[in-house]
Structure 1
Amino acid sequence: MERFITLACLFIVFAIGFLNLLSKLKKIRKKVDFANEFIENLFQYVGSHGRDGEAYTWLIHRSSKMQSQMGSMGRLASFSPPYSRVRYENYEIIVNLLPSLRQSFVDRISVSDTLSDSYAATIHESILRYIGILDDNSESISEKIRNPFIWFTTGVSILFILPVQILSWFGIIGKSVLIFLTSSYIFRLIVGISSLIGFFSAIVGLVTGWDQFMALMKPIVSKII
């Protein structure tokens, strides 16, 4: 019975870790699909020389979502529009350049073609860089999914985070505190050590039985204490 409980606990931890990694991979791929769809609509709008109102409406409607998902990848430290002496700091590319792109088509002067190409290229390149980061993250998680031990450490990490996460849900601690705690080196070290101890303890417990295992560990623990 004890071995069955141990095996069940191991399975639950492995399953939690595996499903968490799978969920992360699915979310990343969903973001990649959205980014590619955004680029497709951007090309459609630019290809119509600003005449495709439906494509522009789609872009504007989803521009805040795209900007939010891109985070720092969607901002320029500083930006000066072509043929302008004005310089903007921490410039949000998507939400600001889309209206500028539209205006360049509305103006319909010789310079506007250059402006529209410049704006479209800046938007496109920023999204491509963002997709590149997502692809890197996707590859990293895919590699982790192939490693069962990482399933276990991920599951342990989630169980460690859970009490703090619950406090965050109830507003007892802020989200920034949660992020700080879970991203700290000490937290990762504790999770790593706990994962190793928990994994090998469970394996030994399954092989020898908990009574024999505790009898084996008792003299070792007494020496340490």
Structure 2
Amino acid sequence: MSNAIVFAVITGIGVYGLIMLLIKRRHYRFKYEFGIEFLNNLQKYWESSGKDWDTYSWLIHRSNKMQGEMGGHGVTHGYKPPYQNFIIKRYEIILNMIPELRKCLENDLLRTNPLASQYFNALQESLVRYIGSIEDMETDLKKELKNPIKWFRHGVRDIVALPAYLLGWLGVISDLTVKRIVSSLLFSAISGIFALVGFVSAILTIVIGWDKFLEIVTKIWP
């Protein structure tokens, strides 16, 4: 195997990793812009005192997507509804509090009640936390885009993940299972080892030549 082929393989994996990072950055940008749009419309609905039905309809229409995008940022555990004697273990903030906010704003007696402000503040704070988290991830991703070694690592990571993606595409395992596998610490460790071994091996092959490298490997693992 010539040095040119080894170099081409490294470059190809690196370029593939860079493309995946750019796609990921674009995905973060879409998530950020959608979060800002949702927050702005929530603010608009609040300022209308519940009279802007078009904005409310938009919020309800996009609430399922927003709840899914937010993940853990949109869920509170051990929530006790006002004036109730039970606790909800997993309370989805967007899906539940927007209709509750509407009920408060529609009711003249509740409109001036602190409960309406509590719902609005809880919704606003959860969205702001989510948007802040997306910004942090974008900042970290920008640093990775400046590091060619990170390109290679992400390229190897996606290549190692191909069997899981293929099983998900064929319907053998669910998309949620694929996501859990790829985001697990074990998978990160395995892909990191593959990337490190592959990168070091490629560099050694280029420096000392394929034949010499193969001789060294044969001595280590006869």
Q: Is 1:79 paired with 2:79?
A: yes
Task: Give the corresponding residue for 2:171.
Answer: 171
Task: Give the corresponding residue for 2:68.
Answer: 68
Deviation of 1:58 after TM superposition, in Å, equals 0.8
1:112-191 map, 5 Å: 112-175=112-175, 177-191=177-191
The superposition leaves residues 104-127 of structure 1 with CA deviations (integer Å, 9 ceiling, x where unpaired) of 111111564422211111100111
Deviation of 1:222 after TM superposition, in Å, equals 2.1
Task: Give the corresponding residue for 2:197.
Answer: 197
Q: Is 1:44 paired with 2:44?
A: yes
Judged with a 3 Å threshold, the aligned counterparts in structure 2 of structure 1 residues 42 and 184 are, in CA distance, closer, same or farther, namely closer
Judged with a 3 Å threshold, the aligned counterparts in structure 2 of structure 1 residues 22 and 59 are, in CA distance, closer, same or farther, namely same
Q: 1:54 is aligned with what amino acid?
A: D
Contact 1:105/1:113 (<8 A) preserved: no
Distance across 2 between alignment mates of 1:185 and 1:87: 32
Q: TM-score, normalised by structure 2?
A: 0.88
**Gapped regions of structure 1 (runs ≥ 5):** none
Contact 2:6/2:206 (<8 A) preserved: yes
Work out which of the residue numbers 215, 219, 222 in structure 1 matches 2:219. 222
Q: Percent identity?
A: 35
Deviation of 1:186 after TM superposition, in Å, equals 4.5
Judged with a 3 Å threshold, the aligned counterparts in structure 2 of structure 1 residues 219 and 41 are, in CA distance, closer, same or farther, namely closer
Q: 2:128 is aligned with what amino acid?
A: L
Judged with a 3 Å threshold, the aligned counterparts in structure 2 of structure 1 residues 119 and 174 are, in CA distance, closer, same or farther, namely closer
Moved more, 162-171 or 82-91: 82-91
Distance across 1 between alignment mates of 2:60 and 2:74: 15
The secondary structure found in structure 1 opposite 2:161 is helix
Distance across 2 between alignment mates of 1:161 and 1:146: 23
Judged with a 3 Å threshold, the aligned counterparts in structure 2 of structure 1 residues 77 and 14 are, in CA distance, closer, same or farther, namely same
Q: 2:106 is aligned with what amino acid?
A: V
Deviation of 1:79 after TM superposition, in Å, equals 2.2
The secondary structure found in structure 1 opposite 2:91 is strand
Contact 2:93/2:123 (<8 A) preserved: yes
RMSD of the alignment, in Å?
Answer: 2.3
**Gapped regions of structure 2 (runs ≥ 5):** none
Q: How many residues align?
A: 222
Contact 2:204/2:213 (<8 A) preserved: no
Task: Give the corresponding residue for 1:108.
Answer: 108
Distance across 1 between alignment mates of 2:6 and 2:217: 22
Judged with a 3 Å threshold, the aligned counterparts in structure 2 of structure 1 residues 173 and 58 are, in CA distance, closer, same or farther, namely closer
Distance across 1 between alignment mates of 2:109 and 2:45: 18
The superposition leaves residues 142-181 of structure 1 with CA deviations (integer Å, 9 ceiling, x where unpaired) of 1111111010011011111112321221123444554454
Contact 2:182/2:188 (<8 A) preserved: yes
The secondary structure found in structure 2 opposite 1:109 is helix
Judged with a 3 Å threshold, the aligned counterparts in structure 2 of structure 1 residues 155 and 128 are, in CA distance, closer, same or farther, namely same
Judged with a 3 Å threshold, the aligned counterparts in structure 2 of structure 1 residues 187 and 43 are, in CA distance, closer, same or farther, namely closer
Judged with a 3 Å threshold, the aligned counterparts in structure 2 of structure 1 residues 178 and 6 are, in CA distance, closer, same or farther, namely same
Moved more, 179-188 or 94-103: 179-188
